[in-house]
């Protein structure tokens, strides 16, 4: 059980970090929409039109690593199984 | 003599019709009108856009110094890409949009008016109201009068367009928004950039 928890913790940390990295390694806050510029051809006014798009940020990374750390920490409180003679 | 007098009266009326100020409506069905706000924070600057714009401005291309009007921004239309941040921004801890739904700027006068073709620049003085607090401020504004161009945006309509652009900085502490608090997390200064087009149908 102890080992399983540690393996899950390690996998969680790996998945969270990989997802954050390949989603753009955003060093700001998590975003659920991104801006696309639109220019009105008559007035030449530019406006940001927001499109739904999830971009994980450092808060997402931090929360994922904290959860992995909590799992790994919890594993320390479990007794190591000793072989019965 | 009578004919001359009649011609003079008609010419005068014609001039008055051309020179009369027009009322421009800034409620934009195409939701292009926007106010961008930006404030510095440790991790990244907070950038957002508000598109809930309305208001009316009267403008006379022959007398731009007489421009008057009011622009209204719906506070709840302020959008930032992080939903938790947006909820906090609109909450009673910050903008309190439920209690103060509108951000307004009412023009009271113009100075240093310069016109070059269809473009006019001026220092516009007015009352800026945010979070229930009103302050008199002066901001540089660029106005572009697009005569007979309304049909290019809305083919079934005849009329004119007036484009307003302004960029200025305010302090949130001047409007009672967490005065002297959280300045290590959110800057006191907020930069606002307005890009608005009003229509005056004939």
Q: Calculate the CA dihedral of residues A30, B75, B142, B196 and round it to 10 degrees.
A: 90
Q: Which pLDDT score, from 0 to 100, does residue B183 have?
A: 85
Q: Answer yes or no: are the C-beta atoms of B40 and B187 closer than 8 Å.
A: yes
Name the band, by pLDDT with cuts 50, 70 and 90, for residue A79.
confident
Asked if residue A70 belongs to a domain, the reply is: yes
Range of the domain at A62: 2-75
Contact A40 B32 (CB under 8 A): yes
- Name the β-bridge partners of B80: none
Q: Which residue of B has its CA nearest to A29?
A: B82
Number of domains in chain A: 1
How many angstroms separate the CA of residue A66 from the nearest CA in chain B? 19
In degrees and rounded to multiples of 5, residue B91 shows phi and psi of -75, 175
Instruction: List helix spans (H) across B40-100.
Output: 83-90
Residues B75-103 pLDDT 10s: 999 999 999 999 999 999 999 999 999 99
CB contact A52 to B (< 8 Å): no
Answer whether residue A85 is part of any domain: no
ipTM of the modeled complex? 0.84
Neighboring chain A residues of B73 at a CB cutoff of 8 Å: none
Q: Which helix or strand (DSSP H or E) is residue B63 part of? A: none
Query: So what CATH class is B21-201?
Result: mainly beta
Q: Which residue has the higher pLDDT, B113 or A74?
A: B113
Q: Would you say B192 and B35 are in contact if contact means Cβ atoms under 8 Å apart?
A: yes
The tokens describing B65, both together, are 């110094």
Task: Let me know if residue A30 belongs to a domain.
Answer: yes
CA-based nearest distance A43→chain B, Å: 7
In terms of Cα–Cα distance, which of B68, B195, B63 is closest to B142? Answer: B195
A47 touches chain B (CB under 8 A): yes
What 3-state class would DSSP assign to B37?
Answer: strand
- Model-level pTM greater than 0.90? no
């Amino acid at each position: 059980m102890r080992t399983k928890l540690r393996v899950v913790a390690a996998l969680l940390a790996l998945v969270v970090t990989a997802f954050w990295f390949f989603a753009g390694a955003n060093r700001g806050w998590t975003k659920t929409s991104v801006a696309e510029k639109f220019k009105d051809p008559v007035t030449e006014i530019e406006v940001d039109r927001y499109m739904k798009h999830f971009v994980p940020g450092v808060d997402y990374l931090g929360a994922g690593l904290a959860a992995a750390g909590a799992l790994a920490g919890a594993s320390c409180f479990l007794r190591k199984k000793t072989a019965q003679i | 003599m009578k004919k001359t007098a009649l011609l003079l009266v008609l010419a005068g009326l014609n001039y008055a019709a051309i020179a009369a100020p027009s009322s421009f409506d800034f409620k934009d069905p195409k939701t292009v009108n926007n106010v961008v706000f930006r404030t510095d924070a440790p991790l990244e600057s907070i950038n957002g856009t508000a598109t809930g714009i309305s208001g009316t401005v009267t403008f006379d291309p022959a007398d731009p110094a007489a421009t008057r009007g009011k622009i209204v921004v719906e506070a709840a239309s302020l959008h930032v890409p992080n939903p938790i941040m947006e909820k906090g921004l609109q909450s009673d801890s910050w903008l309190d949009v439920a209690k103060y739904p509108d951000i307004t700027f009412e023009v009271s006068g113009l100075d240093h008016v310069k016109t070059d073709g269809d473009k006019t620049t001026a220092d516009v003085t007015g009352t800026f109201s945010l979070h229930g607090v009103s302050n008199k401020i002066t901001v540089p504004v660029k106005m572009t009068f697009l005569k007979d161009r309304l049909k290019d945006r809305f083919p079934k309509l005849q009329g004119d367009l007036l484009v307003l652009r302004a960029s200025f900085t305010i302090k949130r502490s001047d409007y009672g928004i967490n005065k002297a608090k959280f300045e290590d997390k959110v800057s006191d200064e907020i930069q606002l950039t307005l890009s608005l087009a009003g229509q005056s149908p004939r």
